[in-house]
């Protein structure tokens, strides 16, 4: 008997339950598929695994199943009985994952409700340089004393200051390949999808379209010997809208056996989610399937691109005894951000500041405007699916 159930913990358990119910004692071999393409299925049948190799996976699945009964069902019955003893039926569910997660949400809600906002003030100035204007903030970021902030803001327009820039390079690596959790996190933050919906779409791309590898993985790496397959996949993508970038990877020789991508020691039951050799007809994917597929393909290609390089600038403007600070950065080399186009460059550039007008070291600048902003501290943000994941 060949076990061709889902290649994972739960698939193993389902098969064993069926064998037990059927009282089947025949020898078993395991078909382990990483993708649903013809080549992958043929390779899986050519390398069937022994049943004994799956025992630890079976025990893990049994532990999960039995803990759900021991913790989830028993606790749910106890809590429901307790809450219903006054009459009626008040279902109160509990579970090994649900209850700790609910506790995290409740703790955050308590923090939000107990939060007392505090007033603070910030001093912002606009300075005029030869190349144009730029904004800066007084060094004390949050002033609790309004009078002190007003005294600090007494730098009248037209007063002269001196500016100095400190510049240093900053490099940003591409994100690792997707596992299910990181794909669900991106699906929620970028496309507004629930974790369940992202999984459904990924499952459709895997089963129906045969466009991606097994999605229910917790690994973000590929096997050490997978480089030839990756090369073929990149070549197959050349005829798609991603072709410009896959061609560049191969042309520039960026496809290398780096441990950041090819690391068998960090591959669990399944490797990272990547496109398969079978490129789908993109016109046959619905809008949201195309978005998720494109995200997987771009992540796959981008991981081989070089780093994005920025020039990070800290600008200090001194007016008498007062110092104002401005942070900004300039993208010097797009690197992997080029794969994502304008969207990626905007996201990559949002962390450390904004574009600054150039100045020469020691240049004299004028305070064009100085304002005091009255603000309030904010409570912690409520958790979203993306932050919970």
| Active-site annotation, residues | 214
Q: How far apart are CA 263 and CA 359, in angstroms?
A: 46
Sequence-distant (≥ 6) Cβ neighbours of residue 169 within 8 angstroms: 309, 310, 311, 312, 332
- For residue 348, what are its two tokens? 């990559």
CA distance 152 to 367: 13
Tally of CB atoms within 10 A around 130: 11
Dihedral sign (CA 66, 71, 73, 74): positive
| DSSP, residue by residue, 306-327 | PPEEEEEEEEEEEETTEEEEEE
How many CA atoms within 13 Å lie on the side-chain side of 176? 19
Separation of alpha carbons 173 and 353, rounded Å: 18
Per-residue CA distances from 352 to 45, 202, 336, 348 (Å): 51, 33, 18, 9
d(CA 106, CA 111): 9
The closest of 291, 97, 285 to 183, measured between CA atoms, is 291
Q: Are 133 and 157 in contact (CB under 8 A)?
A: no
Measure the CA–CA gap between 6 and 152, rounded to whole angstroms.
66
Give the residue carrying structure tokens 């506790």: 103
If we measure between CA atoms, which residue out of 290, 304, 266, 286 comes closest to residue 212?
A: 290
Rounded Cα gap, residues 253 and 236, in angstroms: 17
Helix axes 9-22, 55-67, angle to 10 degrees: 90
CA-to-CA distance for 222 and 89, rounded, in angstroms? 51
């Amino acid at each position: 008997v060949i076990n061709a159930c889902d290649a994972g913990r739960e698939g193993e358990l389902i098969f064993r339950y069926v064998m037990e119910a059927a009282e089947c004692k025949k020898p078993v071999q395991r078909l382990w598929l990483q993708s649903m393409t013809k080549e992958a299925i043929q390779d899986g049948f050519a390398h069937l695994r022994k049943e004994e190799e799956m025992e630890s996976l079976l025990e893990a699945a049994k532990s999960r199943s039995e803990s759900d009964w021991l913790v989830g069902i028993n606790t749910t019955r106890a809590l429901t009985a307790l809450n219903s003893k006054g009459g009626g039926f008040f279902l109160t569910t509990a579970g090994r994952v649900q209850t700790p997660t609910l506790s995290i949400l409740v703790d955050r809600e308590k923090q939000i409700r107990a939060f007392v906002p505090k007033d603070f003030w910030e001093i912002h100035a606009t300075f005029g340089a030869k190349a144009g204007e730029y904004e800066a903030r007084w060094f004390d970021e949050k002033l609790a004393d309004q009078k002190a902030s007003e005294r600090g803001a007494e730098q009248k327009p037209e007063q002269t200051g001196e500016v100095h820039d400190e510049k240093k390079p900053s490099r940003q690596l591409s994100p690792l390949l997707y596992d299910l959790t990181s794909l669900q996190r991106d699906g929620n933050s970028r496309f507004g999808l629930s974790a369940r919906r992202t999984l459904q779409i990924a499952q459709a791309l895997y089963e129906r379209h045969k466009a991606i590898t097994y999605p229910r993985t917790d690994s973000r790496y590929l096997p050490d010997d997978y480089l030839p397959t990756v090369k073929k996949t990149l070549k197959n993508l050349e005829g798609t809208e991603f072709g410009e970038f896959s061609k560049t990877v191969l042309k520039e020789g960026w496809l290398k056996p780096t441990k950041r991508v090819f690391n068998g020691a960090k591959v669990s039951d399944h490797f990272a989610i990547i496109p398969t050799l079978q490129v789908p007809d993109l016109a046959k994917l619905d809008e949201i399937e195309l978005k998720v597929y494109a995200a997987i393909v771009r992540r796959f290609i981008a991981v081989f691109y070089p780093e994005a390089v920025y020039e990070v600038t800290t600008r200090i403007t001194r007016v008498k005894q007062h110092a104002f600070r401005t942070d900004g950065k300039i993208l010097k080399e797009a690197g992997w951000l080029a794969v994502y186009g304008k969207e990626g460059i905007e996201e990559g550039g949002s962390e450390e500041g904004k574009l600054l007008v150039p100045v020469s070291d020691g240049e004299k600048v004028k305070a064009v405007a100085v304002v005091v902003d009255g603000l309030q501290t904010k409570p912690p943000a409520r958790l979203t699916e993306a932050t919970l994941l």
